[in-house]
Amino acid sequence: MTGASEATGDVTAPDRKRVVQRGLWFEEFETDVVYEHRPGRTVTEADNVLFTTLTMNTQALHLDAAFSEQLPPFNQRLVNSMFTLSTLVGLSVAQLTQGTIVANLGFSEISFPKPLFHGDTMYAETVITDKRESKSRPGEGIITLAHTARNQHGDVVATAVRKTLVRKRPS
């Protein structure tokens, strides 16, 4: 009764095709393509305060509303830039590297052209700028990713270049 599992939605049916969410194998990455990562992530005050205190960053610009309100040009607390960077990379994981990454090899060219504020929604996109097979690790390759984060208005709030070691498709 193959049709029965389809009709009932029985996820335990052994005859049902399965699709597992994963990142891309080395061979699947394409250079000069924009990978848009959705959904976005709305940043809350709780996110900022928790991340800032967990990482022992006592910067008043992230924690002290009264202090921050007195400082032009923003006159409000800023989201911790390390949270912004971490979220930018995190937004790309499900689409690009979930289960296929071996390691991050390094970050470069990190910048924060505009600040992120509580209540802003961050959207991320990635362009693969380079890929090559690893010379020392058969079955793996090195990918260079140029990440960009934008707020809900389209303003760039962070950029970073990241090199990662990823697995090739299993044979």
State the pLDDT at residue 43.
Answer: 98
> Given the DSSP bridges, would you call strands 121-133 and 34-42 parallel, antiparallel or unpaired?
antiparallel
What percent of the chain is modeled with pLDDT above 70?
A: 95
Q: Is the pLDDT of residue 171 over 90?
A: no
Which token pair is 152? 């809900």
| Superfamily of 23-167 according to CATH | Hotdog Thioesterase (3.10.129.10)
Residue 25 · residue 166 · CB < 8 Å: yes
State the pLDDT at residue 7.
Answer: 60
Q: Is the pLDDT of residue 122 over 60?
A: yes
Q: Is the pLDDT of residue 53 over 80?
A: yes
Mean predicted confidence (pLDDT) in 71-89? 97
CA 44, 45, 46, 47: dihedral to nearest 10 degrees? Answer: 60
